[in-house]
Amino acid sequence: MFRYLPEQGSEIAPRLDWIHNWITDLSVFFTIAICGAMIYFAIRYRKQGGVDHETPRIEGSNFLEIVWTVVPTIICIWVAYYGIVIYNEMVDVKEDPEKEFVLINAQGYRWAWDFQYQNGKTTTNEIVVPVGRPTKIILTSRDVIHSFFIPVMRVKKDAVPGAYSHVVFTPVRTGEYPAFCTEYCGTNHSSMLANVRVVSEAEFQRWKNDRSDELSKLAMSPVDLGRSLYVDKGCNACHSLDGSAVVGPTFLNLFGSERKFTDGTTTVADENYIRESILYPASKISAGYQNLMPAFEGQISDNEIQGLIEFIRTIDGSQPVPEPVAAEEEDVDLSSLTPVERGERLYREKICFTCHSLDGSALVGPSFKDLYGRKGKFTDGQEYVADDDYIRGSILEPGSEIVEGYVNAMPPYQGQLSDEQIDDLIAFIQSVSNGD
Ligand code: CUA
């Protein structure tokens, strides 16, 4: 009866659902039994033919009294006991040296979720977790009380400012699942959503160690950085680019305009004003708006503020605003390119260039210039020749052999590149080595 719970995505879910369904069924059974008997007797023994029937004297039954006291008592004790057993398993991670748990710090704020992994990887409104490993999410809030809820994992907990709480779950199947804020926290409460992506352990390791997002932001122009932050930091939820008033003032023609504030003062929107409004939004409230924005003090770097200022500066209606996404892929027929050309594209797309130069200079990793065919030593003293197998191995499992003088900083690309793509990269590296 009444099976309305969502998919079971965590280890605890089947047992939790079982007790939930059992209690529901039990309640429905007794509701129908008691109300049904009531209705039946009311009809069966109603006043008939205008005649009153004398009520017989009933002395009671000890047997019945005992049965309907003892049976419900046992049921209630059992429900409480089983509930406590399951609750205990849900409140914390069991110590298990085989299965180290994944720790994620989460911060709710109006109206988004920030997540940080232990290696420093940060995301907004997205978490990636490995299937089969316990995950512990430590929750707090920057402003008001929010509540973090992943229905398929059967976890829900308040995120309270100035305090920590946590949820624990072990995902059992891969897929993408929604997480909600379930504590009404203001205008955009309903859009305070996050995406939970459950992936294989290998994909999780690759994703967690792939910092190319952050690296590519370092290489972006300030305007592009600002444009990507506009989405990543959730500015777009409250500030439009087309002049429409959402929760906050639009960015259209904001820069250089005169701003009126609720206290009657005015100022011209310059770099200082925008910086202050990002870091301490409460200090000046635009007339006609409320103080709803979270302070980004300590949440955003000077570089990022610079990017946002440059981005806002460009929103003057003189040109259509490009889609707020990072570097867009142009459509190219890859089969029309030579392997070397395809390899060069991969060199740029996979951002190999942030660590491997083409001009012989040593960055984080060895330069690709004159790499192919080079002889050298690994940190363990073993000698190598940079041939096809060596390059393939270095791309797929860079941690297995580290070239002398370098540290293991590269994410493994196992499962991320096809054999053809690796061949293309090898061709490209070969061309750089043999060229001038
Ligand atoms: Cu946050 Cu509702």
Which atom of ligand 1 lies nearest, measured to the CA of 111?
Answer: 1
pLDDT at 42: 92
Which atom of ligand 1 lies nearest, measured to the CA of 146?
Answer: 1
pLDDT at 326: 44
User: Is the Cβ atom of 183 under 6 angstroms away from ligand 1?
Assistant: yes
Distance 107 CA to ligand 1 centre (A): 11
d(CA 245, CA 259): 14
Which atom of ligand 1 lies nearest, measured to the CA of 108?
Answer: 1
User: Is the Cβ atom of 180 under 6 angstroms away from ligand 1?
Assistant: no
User: Is the Cβ atom of 371 under 6 angstroms away from ligand 1?
Assistant: no
User: Is the Cβ atom of 181 under 6 angstroms away from ligand 1?
Assistant: yes
User: Is the Cβ atom of 238 under 6 angstroms away from ligand 1?
Assistant: no
Distance 203 CA to ligand 1 centre (A): 30
Backbone angles phi, psi at 58, to 5 degrees: -115, 130
d(CA 301, CA 125): 19
Which atom of ligand 1 lies nearest, measured to the CA of 186?
Answer: 2
User: Is the Cβ atom of 184 under 6 angstroms away from ligand 1?
Assistant: yes
pLDDT at 166: 92
d(CA 377, CA 39): 89
User: Is the Cβ atom of 108 under 6 angstroms away from ligand 1?
Assistant: yes
d(CA 17, CA 6): 10
For domain 102-208, is the CATH number 2.40.110.10? Answer: no
Q: Where are the domains of the chain?
A: 1-42+61-91, 102-208, 214-314, 335-434
pLDDT of the chain, 436 residues: tens digit per residue = 677 888 899 988 999 999 999 899 999 999 999 999 999 999 988 888 777 777 788 888 999 999 999 999 999 999 999 999 998 888 877 777 777 889 999 999 988 899 999 888 888 899 999 998 999 999 999 889 999 999 999 999 999 999 999 999 999 999 999 999 999 998 889 889 999 999 999 889 888 888 777 777 777 788 888 888 888 888 887 888 888 887 888 999 888 888 999 888 988 898 889 999 998 888 889 888 888 888 888 778 888 888 899 899 888 877 766 654 444 445 567 778 888 888 888 887 776 776 787 877 777 778 888 788 888 888 888 888 888 888 888 888 887 778 877 777 677 777 778 888 888 888 888 888 765 4
Distance 351 CA to ligand 1 centre (A): 36
For domain 335-434, is the CATH number 1.10.760.10? Answer: yes
Which atom of ligand 1 lies nearest, measured to the CA of 159?
Answer: 1
pLDDT at 362: 72
Distance 104 CA to ligand 1 centre (A): 19
Closest-CA residue, ligand 1 atom 1, reads 146
Distance 343 CA to ligand 1 centre (A): 46
For domain 214-314, is the CATH number 1.10.760.10? Answer: yes
User: Is the Cβ atom of 234 under 6 angstroms away from ligand 1?
Assistant: no
Which atom of ligand 1 lies nearest, measured to the CA of 145?
Answer: 1
Distance 68 CA to ligand 1 centre (A): 45
d(CA 111, CA 399): 39
Tell me the three state secondary structure of residue 44: helix
Distance 110 CA to ligand 1 centre (A): 7
**Burial 173-203, CB ≥16 within 10 A → b, else e:** eeeebebbbbbebeebbeebebebbbbeeeb
Which atom of ligand 1 lies nearest, measured to the CA of 185?
Answer: 2
Measure the CA angle with vertex 207, ends 201 and 212; round to 5°: 160
User: Is the Cβ atom of 106 under 6 angstroms away from ligand 1?
Assistant: no
Q: Which of 192, 179, 130 is nearest to 152 (CA)?
A: 179
Distance 180 CA to ligand 1 centre (A): 8
User: Is the Cβ atom of 237 under 6 angstroms away from ligand 1?
Assistant: no
Q: Which of 191, 228, 166 is nearest to 112 (CA)?
A: 191
Which atom of ligand 1 lies nearest, measured to the CA of 192?
Answer: 1
User: Is the Cβ atom of 189 under 6 angstroms away from ligand 1?
Assistant: yes
User: Is the Cβ atom of 146 under 6 angstroms away from ligand 1?
Assistant: yes
Any residues with CB less than 8 A from the CB of 181 and at least 6 apart, and which? 108, 111, 113, 146, 147, 148, 149, 189, 192, 193
Which atom of ligand 1 lies nearest, measured to the CA of 183?
Answer: 2
User: Is the Cβ atom of 315 under 6 angstroms away from ligand 1?
Assistant: no
Fold agreement (214-314, 335-434):
yes
d(CA 231, CA 324): 7
